[in-house]
Amino acid sequence: MAPSLLSANFARLGDEVEAVVAAGADLIHFDVMDNHYVPNLTVGPLVCEAIRPHAGAVPIDVHLMVRPVDALVPMFVQAGAGLISFHPEASEHVHRTIQLIRSHGAKAGLALNPATPVQVLDHVLDDLDLVLVMSVNPGFGGQAFIDGMLRKIEAVRRRIDASGRDVWLEVDGGVKASNAGRIAAAGADTLVAGSAVFSGGAGQYRAAIDAIRASAQLGRLQARAEAADTRALEAAA
């Protein structure tokens, strides 16, 4: 579970990070927008560095919605990023950027916009630690989940499973307790949520995270049960 700071109170960002860590966050999702690749402007390496002490042992998951990418990679690693994801459309040489991230000691992720074909993974999946499926168009928080992305999540999960590697499948955009089960059943193992976590105030962060996590777990269990039933029917046929 990765709360997105895009929906946090920026006037109290350190406190917000500490609050979601105490509420059970597995990652801190840190959205970087440049008003060039996406139509919004957010935060940079100095803010990442400022919140790093507040996150404790929880990794900072930096999502770069910027163009170009490479110059920012070493700055964010130095600022404390544990994972860095970028969009293939924003890099001239996708494989080189992945190698750059890993060479600086961070985990590397590739972020797929709703219209980005999953085939972009075919020649780089063996070098990735994370695939981020965007279930909204990037640039703004608070958007509704695009239901058609469930099929894309399933397609990415099939590719990851076929690779035999431990690659995280993260989903970002419109995630909440009411749809987390479907998203997890489709194959996601890491969920990013912004407004669904932060909108209720600090006193509700744990309840919000627990509700999303419980919904996701139920979805996974149901998917496994359905898969087992299918296998049983096929074996009996």
Q: Where are the domains of the chain?
A: 2-236
CATH match of 2-236 with 3.40.50.720: no
Residue 76 counted as an annotated binding residue: no
Q: Which amino acid is at 208?
A: A
Q: Which residue has the higher pLDDT, 226 or 170?
A: 170
Mean pLDDT, rounded, for 64-91:
98
Confidence of residue 231 (pLDDT cuts 50, 70, 90): confident
Whether 9 shows a pLDDT value over 90: the answer reads yes
Quick check: 160 pLDDT over 90? yes
Give the residue among 142, 224, 141 at the shortest CA–CA distance from 187.
224
Distance CA 44, CA 38 (A): 15
Q: Tell whether 70 is in a known binding site.
A: no
Active site residues: 31, 172
Is 172 marked as a binding-site residue?
Answer: yes
* Cα–Cα distance, 118 to 153 (Å, whole number): 9
